[in-house]
Amino acid sequence: MTDIAIIGGGITGLSLALNLHRRGIACRVYERASEVKELGVGITLLPHAMREFAALGVSEQLLAAGIENAESCFFNRFGQLIYKEPRGKLAGYPHPEVGIHRGRLHLILHGAACAALGPDRIRTDRTCVDLAQDAEGVTIAFTETSTGRSAEPVRARAAIACDGINSVVRKRFHPDDDVAFAGINTWRGVTRMKPILTGRSYMRIGSILTGKIVVYPIVDDVDGAGTQLVNWMAEIKQDALAKKNDWNRPGDPADFLPIYESWRFDWLDVPAMIRKADFVLEYPMVDKDPIGQWSFGRVTLAGDAAHPMYPRGSNGAAQGAIDARTLADCLAAGPDVPAALKAYEEARREATARIVRTNREHPPDFINIKVEELTGDRPFDDLDAYITQDELRALSESYKRIAGFSLASPGT
């Protein structure tokens, strides 16, 4: 019998596998994809995420593969600086903040898990379709993703669902569960270009009310001539009845570029950046309402399967990694698996529900929204006439505190 079966080999699943291995607990990972590839766009690893990855021994690899953020900058849609602050170690955190290609992050975690557990314990081409449990264990039914044929079922002491926002396991226990869409669609792309500002700047431009774009570098010197790979995400808030984007399909710049056509600043030409993108993907901005139960006997949920949240504030990966460490600690504490899974749920469920609600109600670009309202969405001559830097700093610190990564409470 496999000790622990991890359903899903993404960031949370691989982090859990590494955490369990470090505690001497045998496990296997079952990943839906037929092959692990460097796919996707950018992701920001906040200091509390890097703390978790440092404990797994991969932080130096991640830092080398990405770019350490030096500052976070907020601009209005006219290109005027509203507020900026240092980030990561420059802000006093013990760990850096890193922008990185999501695919590079995934490959580093996958490589570390294969090296630690052995590649035979990381199974690809396995889609979970059902499970059943009894007093002694869990039986998990899989199909081969590539063929659709039934695969050999797996018997395990516990099953941990790390299978993402569309989790099959979550749906089994919460059949009426569905994503929540509030009318915000997003488009993401990566563009090869010369460094913007410091070359280590995380930029939020505009607001969700009139058009917003987040921009940050994720790969340095891609051509030997100083060109960076820059990640960007455009967000457009429409009527709540607006049509929801499909998932991870090629996006058409014509659907959103007109909003940014006039955004040409001394320091960045936004429409040119969009037009020169290597590719554009479209996504709906969705999450799910917090649920009252994650653990069911010998089965529990983790990461996006447990608490899918808006991709705001860069907190999703961090919370999945914290889930992984907490769950491994609980399983290592004693032989009673159902009790361990319940203890994990009690430690994490409300903490993550708070972040889901925070990302809905108090987005990190609240600073931009506030200034837009105060200035009447017009360029300003003297921002202090509307709001002071101290007041803006207080708004920033409030978000960090609520979302769980202020210096006073750096993660959970």
**Where residue 109 sits, what CATH number does that domain have?**
3.50.50.60
Q: Evaluate whether residue 111 is within a structural domain.
A: yes
Burial class (CB in 10 A: 0-12, 13-18, 19+), 72: buried
Torsion of the alpha carbons at 119, 316, 270 and 366, rounded to the nearest 10: -170
Residue 237: closest CA among 273, 186, 188, 190: 186
Tell whether 197 is covered by a domain: no
Query: What's the whole-number mean pLDDT along residues 106-111?
Result: 96
Q: Tell me, what's the pLDDT at 403? A: 67
Kindly state the average pLDDT of the residues 114-119.
96
Confidence class for position 243, pLDDT limits 50, 70, 90 = low
- Whole-model pTM: value is 0.93
Residue 325 lies in a domain: yes
Is residue 387's pLDDT more than 60? yes
Rounded alpha-carbon distances, angstroms, from residue 186 to 177, 247, 255, 280: 23, 10, 11, 10
What is the H or E stretch that residue 286 is in? strand 279-287
The whole domain housing 173 covers 2-67+100-178+291-361
Lowest mean pLDDT among 207-216, 258-267, 332-341, 361-370: 361-370
Residue 272 in any domain: the answer is: no
**216 lies in a domain?**
no
Domain assignment of residue 83, yes or no: no
100-126 CB burial, b ≥16 within 10 A, e <16:
bbbbbbbbbbbbbbbebbeeebbbbbb
Task: Check pLDDT > 60 for residue 294.
Answer: yes
Number of domains the chain contains: 1
Exposure pattern of 333-344 as b/e (b: 16+ CB <10 Å)? eeeebbebbbbb
Name the more confident of 236 and 377: 377
Residue 319 inside a domain? The answer is yes
**What tens digit of pLDDT does each residue of 150-170 get?**
999 999 999 999 999 999 999
